[in-house]
Amino acid sequence: MLDITDLNVWFGQGRDRVDAVKAASLAVEQGESFGLVGESGSGKSTILRAITGLAPDWSGRITVDGTDLGRRRDRAFYKSVQMVFQDPYASLHPRHSVDQVLSETLHLHGLGEIDRRVAKLLDDVGLGPRFRFRYPHQLSGGQRQRVAIARALAGEPRLLLLDEPTSALDVSVQAEILNLLTDLRAERGLTYLMVSHDLPVVGHMCERLAVMKDGEIVEVMEVAALRRMEARHPYAQSLLQASVAG
């Protein structure tokens, strides 16, 4: 589904150049859920931004569903790959109602029957029709994140990039959102690439994961190995220790 080979991403030029991702390679199978873990600044979110084209300066090869990605992404790409952002308070336009957000997205994907589809999307993410005409400030964090997920699902993508989708939420809401994501994946046969700093969350959601440090992938492992605490790289081990101590 997704193949990344020797990906480098940098910001700025010349002396100000910062290499956020260095020679990263990973492959995500169709239908798989793959985790990217690391601390802040390790470059895990930057990989997602490079895939979506939000980080313009990159080199290497990114292949989605067999097609190599160039500098520009076309409509077809955005129909098959979508992203859910970390902070649901920042990812919804403050002046647009839920209805506006979803209708516009459906319109951009060239889909018809917008009215029916909006109602269906809201239903799919567990928000009833009551929420349709609300503005973001009338929604809780979890409800906002559901709207953001509905928006990402509008074009019926096959690969969903999840950028710490629950780190800004309370644990009880986190459980609801993670369950929703699990269900959606089963229903729609989605492939997930999930970024998180929280190892238990990745352990719950994913089958495999990559550990990142300073822009490099230091280890790729099965979640089963993670549960057995069998990390080879010393950094991955220390991360694991810190997460389990609690």
Partner 1 sequence: MTLLDVGNLWVKFPTRQGMFEAVRGVSFSLKKERLGIVGESGSGKSMTGRAILRLIRKPGIVEADRIALEGTDLMRLTEIQMRQVRGEQISMVMQDPKFSLNPVMTIGAQIMEAYLLHAKASRSEARAKAVEMLEAVSIRDPERVMRAYPHEMSGGMGQRIMIAMMLIPNPQILIADEPTSALDVSVQRQVLDIMDRLVTDRGMGLIFISHDLNLVAEFCDRVLIMYAGRIVEVCDADKLHAAQHPYTRGLLNSLPRLDQPRARLEVLQRDAAWAEAPSVSGRV
Partner 2 sequence: MSGMTLRQWLLTDTPTSRRHAKMASFYKGWLTLRGNTMAMFGLGILVALGLIALFAPLLAPYDWTTQNLGNRLQPLGTEGHLLGTDSLGRDILSRLIYGSRITLYIVALVALIAPVAGLLVGTVAGYVGGWVDLVLMRITDIFLAFPRLVLALAFVAALGAGIENAVLAISLTAWPPYARIARAETLTIRSSDYISAIRLQGAGPIRIITKHIWPLCISSLIVRVTLDMAGIILAAAGLGFLGLGAQPPSPEWGAMISEGRRFILDYWWVATMPGLAIFTVSLAFNLLGDGLRDVLDPKDSET
Residues in contact with partner 2 by the rule CB under 8 A: 52, 54, 73-75, 78-79, 82-83, 85-87, 90-97, 99, 104-105, 108-109, 130-131, 133-135, 137-138, 148, 151, 154-155
Nearer to partner 1, 76 or 242 (CB): 242
Which of partner 2, partner 1, none has residue 192 at its interface (CB below 5 to 8 Å by kind)? none
Nearer to partner 2, 23 or 141 (CB): 141
Which of partner 2, partner 1, none has residue 141 at its interface (CB below 5 to 8 Å by kind)? partner 1
Distance CA 241, CA 245 (A): 6
Which of partner 2, partner 1, none has residue 135 at its interface (CB below 5 to 8 Å by kind)? partner 2
Closest CA to 93 of 28, 147, 39, 38: 147
Q: How far is the CB of 131 from partner 1 (least distance, A)?
A: 18
Which of partner 2, partner 1, none has residue 182 at its interface (CB below 5 to 8 Å by kind)? partner 1
Which of partner 2, partner 1, none has residue 238 at its interface (CB below 5 to 8 Å by kind)? partner 1
Q: What's the chain look like in SS3?
A: CEEEEEEEEEECCHHHCEEEEEEEEEEECCCCEEEEECCCCCCHHHHHHHHHCCCCCEEEEEEECCEECCCCCCHHHHHHEEEECCCCCCCCCCCCCHHHHHHHHHHHCCCCCHHHHHHHHHHHCCCCHHHCCCCHHHCCHHHHHHHHHHHHHCCCCCEEEEECCCCCCCHHHHHHHHHHHHHHHHHHCCEEEEEECCHHHHHHHCCEEEEEECCEEEEEEEHHHHHCCCCCCHHHHHHHHHHHCC
Q: How far is the CB of 57 from partner 2 (least distance, A)?
A: 14
Q: How far is the CB of 216 from partner 2 (least distance, A)?
A: 25
Q: How far is the CB of 80 from partner 2 (least distance, A)?
A: 11
Which of partner 1, partner 2, none has residue 63 at its interface (CB below 5 to 8 Å by kind)? none
Q: How far is the CB of 77 from partner 1 (least distance, A)?
A: 32
Q: How far is the CB of 132 from partner 1 (least distance, A)?
A: 21
